[in-house]
Structure 1
Amino acid sequence: MSDLSRQYIGPGWQLAVTAIHRAIADAGLKKSDIDGLLINKSPVASLMDLPMDLLDYAGLKDLTLCSVVEAEGSSGVQMVQQAALAVQAGMAKAVVCVFADAPIVPGVSTQQAFGMPLPLMGKLGSEAPTGLFGPVAAYALAARRYMHKNSLTEDHLGAVAVACRQWALKNPLAMMKKPLSMEDHHNSPYVVEPFHLFDCSFPVNGAVAVVVTSAERAADGPQPAVYIHGMGQGHRGVTNRRGFENEIEIGAKLAGQGAYAMAGVGPKDIDCAQVYDAFTYCILLQLEQYGFVEPGGGGAFALAGQTAPGGSFPVNTGGGQLSGYYLQGGTPLSEGVMQARGTAGERQVKHDLVLTAAYGGRMMYHACMITSPHASL
């Protein structure tokens, strides 16, 4: 991982190179050992922010696999999945997967940094006349529908934010360093109702990279190996037709089913989860879709403190994107690796099986994997 900052510390490609070199060193390898590179950038970033030329910038040569992976926020996990399949197929022996982003620059607000031109036609073109600009408004509408259907209040969203902050206070990498109470959450300004400021993720500049290789090679490395036992994806497709509730039925359920089946385990076997949490409501829905609680039960589960330190099911133990750092799929990926390794320090939890999950778009594209410090289950 590169340094993380709310200040401009260099372009995305430069942060990516740092993360790549650190990941290679962490794995006990040399640049000459790497024969694969998978790259992911933010959907709103320029192509030049993280180009294919990254292999040259990083000093990598004679690669047998090199590609840009674009599945929006789910790409962090999808890169690892693709790398694992490539290694298993013999297409590469050691693949670096990297995500980098540098949206925060002098003179540009966070809102501007994540802004995109709106098309005049098609699905997105139909939204602009209604005032539906940007992801916050779309997620807010989805959250409101979810809350209405399950009789939830802002206390349930606040419980998620407070739990993530409690975890962040145990994470030296987390950006948010001050305690957060339910009152603090409720008193923070609305961004788009029902989302207060602390219901929204915290973007940073930085990069995350991991090395994927064979189980045999990883076992000989200087760091504890993280083994992948199950992988899954779920992409339901989106329609504006009445009765199709995209905000309640998402592809996470399908992704989870695939990963559980591959690993030969179920939701009750998972010790902790690291999930994409661009907004508080997203954690609640994913808890349900991945089978950790019954449908509609995510709010009560969070309000009872079950996802917080000391709870029955730790979620986003590094603070997540809400209080840790928002690096899209790189956030759950990095914390998932640290937890599975057993190197998370004060925030370390039981980690025989860790679920790491990410999504892209408006919770349209989902990918997850089940990892463990054990070579076999």
Structure 2
Amino acid sequence: MTPMSLKPGKSPLQLACEATHAALADAGIDHRDVDGLLVGSSQGVRPDRLGVTFAAQGGFSDLRLLEHVEIKGATTIAMVQRAQLAIESGAASTVVCVFADAPLVAGKGAGSTYAHSGGQAGARGLERASGVLGSVPTYALLAQRWMHVTGAVPEDLCAVATTTRAWALGNPDAVVRKPLDVTGYLESPMISEPLRRLDCARPVNGAVAIIVSDNETLGNPIRLHVRGTGREHPVRRRRAGSESWFGGGRRAVDDALEQAGMSRADLSMAQLYDPFSVVTLMLLEEYALTGKSSAGDFVRGGGTSAGGTLPTNTGGGQLSGFYLQGMTPLAEAMIQLRGQGGDRQVPGATTALVGGIGGRIDHHAAMILERAS
């Protein structure tokens, strides 16, 4: 990982190089030992967007596998899944997966960068002409509908925000580490009802790189096994006459667990993609992670907190930790399973569910990681 920055600075290319060098050093190998490279970048066509040209720019050569993968927030798990399949088929043996982004640029905020992704044509153009800019208002509509259908209340959103902030206090890489209580949450300005500023992710400039390999002699003695993966793409069409905002995704988790030979009771933690507080609630419920409790009751009852039955987003998630698309939950899962969580370490953690979503919960990806015995 690079440091996560709230200020303009390095380009995605520079950040990707930095993270990749760190990952290679962590594994005790160099560029010559890598025969696969998978690159992920944030959505939207931007001049500095990371692509397959990173192979040359990053110092790689003689690759057997080189691809740019893009399924929005589900990209990270898709990259790992792609690497795993390539290794199992013999198409590659050691694959670097890297994601880098730098939405914070001089003269404008990250919100402006994201608001212009998706283009001006079709439904997105109609939304933009109506003043629906970026993800916040669309997720606010989603949140209103989900809360109406499930009976969730604003206090549930607050519980997610305060719980993830409590986790972030133990994470030196988190970009927001000021204690947060209910009063502080309610003082946060409303951006698009019911989402307040503190219900929204905190974008950063940064990068994460990981190495997937079947090489048992890599330098780092702490290895993690990819035990199972799963994907589900509901392919919704948001037109009158159908419920198109949410639902789907459980099959991705079921498939990952089945492949791993595990059940939900075997999970030490969950690291879920949380661009907004409501998404944590939705995924906990959709993925059947709360038992017989509603997601709101589960979070407010401490289920996702330290000492809870399913510690969730233990680095502060994307609300208080940092927003780096699907790399945020994966990086935290790896830190925890390596026992490197410091003040936030989940005692005895051996397994993790990593979840990624794309778009407006249009894509679901799930992965089960386990610490090697």
Q: TM-score, normalised by structure 2?
A: 0.95
Q: Distance in 2 between matches of 1:178 and 1:81?
A: 36
Q: Distance in 1 between matches of 2:117 and 2:19?
A: 30
Higher alpha-carbon deviation: 118-127 or 50-59: 118-127
1:315 paired to 2:312: yes
1:52 paired to 2:49: no
Matched with 1:272 is: 269
Q: Is the 8 A contact 2:44 2:118 kept in 1?
A: no
Q: Is the 8 A contact 2:171 2:315 kept in 1?
A: yes
Q: Distance in 2 between matches of 1:42 and 1:120?
A: 18
Matched with 1:204 is: 204
Higher alpha-carbon deviation: 125-134 or 80-89: 125-134
Structure 1 343/223 Cα, relative in aligned 2: closer, same or farther at 3 Å? Answer: farther
SS of 1:88's equivalent in the other structure is helix
Matched with 1:239 is: 237
Higher alpha-carbon deviation: 20-29 or 106-115: 106-115
Structure 1 306/117 Cα, relative in aligned 2: closer, same or farther at 3 Å? Answer: closer
Matched with 1:26 is: 26
Matched with 1:286 is: 283
SS of 1:322's equivalent in the other structure is helix
Higher alpha-carbon deviation: 336-345 or 62-71: 336-345
Large movers: runs of 4+ above 6 Å: none
Encode CA deviations 1:269-312: one digit per residue, 9 max, x unaligned. Answer: 21100010000000011111221125871111111121112222
Encode CA deviations 1:243-273: one digit per residue, 9 max, x unaligned. Answer: 53333313x2121121011111122221100
1:5-44, aligned counterparts within 5 Å? 5-44=5-44
Matched with 1:248 is: 246
Letter in 1 for 2:143: A
1:78-97, aligned counterparts within 5 Å? 78-97=78-97
Letter in 1 for 2:8: Y
SS of 2:289's equivalent in the other structure is coil
Q: Displacement of 1:101 after TM fit?
A: 0.3
1:1-377, aligned counterparts within 5 Å? 1-46=1-46, 48-116=48-116, 121-214=121-214, 217-218=215-216, 220-242=218-240, 244-250=242-248, 252-294=249-291, 297-349=294-346, 350-374=348-372
Q: Distance in 2 between matches of 1:232 and 1:245?
A: 24
Q: Distance in 2 between matches of 1:152 and 1:183?
A: 20
Q: Displacement of 1:71 after TM fit?
A: 0.6
Encode CA deviations 1:196-233: one digit per residue, 9 max, x unaligned. Answer: 1100000000000000001xx24653230010111000
Q: Distance in 1 between matches of 2:160 and 2:5?
A: 24
Letter in 2 for 1:302: V
CA RMSD of aligned residues (A): 1.7
Q: Is the 8 A contact 1:26 1:223 kept in 2?
A: no
Q: Displacement of 1:127 after TM fit?
A: 2.7
Q: Distance in 1 between matches of 2:121 and 2:61?
A: 43
Q: Distance in 1 between matches of 2:251 and 2:210?
A: 25
Q: Distance in 1 between matches of 2:54 and 2:327?
A: 18
Q: Is the 8 A contact 1:267 1:290 kept in 2?
A: no
Q: Distance in 2 between matches of 1:98 and 1:119?
A: 25
Structure 1 168/305 Cα, relative in aligned 2: closer, same or farther at 3 Å? Answer: same
Letter in 1 for 2:300: L
Q: Is the 8 A contact 2:201 2:323 kept in 1?
A: yes
Q: Distance in 1 between matches of 2:36 and 2:118?
A: 35
Q: Distance in 2 between matches of 1:37 and 1:238?
A: 31
User: Where does structure 1 lack aligned partners over 5 or more consecutive residues?
Assistant: none
User: Where does structure 2 lack aligned partners over 5 or more consecutive residues?
Assistant: none
Q: Distance in 2 between matches of 1:166 and 1:316?
A: 10
Q: Distance in 1 between matches of 2:176 and 2:98?
A: 24
Letter in 1 for 2:330: L
Q: TM-score, normalised by structure 1?
A: 0.94
Q: Distance in 2 between matches of 1:118 and 1:283?
A: 24
Aligned-pair identity (%): 39
Q: Is the 8 A contact 1:44 1:115 kept in 2?
A: no
Aligned residues: 372
Higher alpha-carbon deviation: 335-344 or 47-56: 47-56
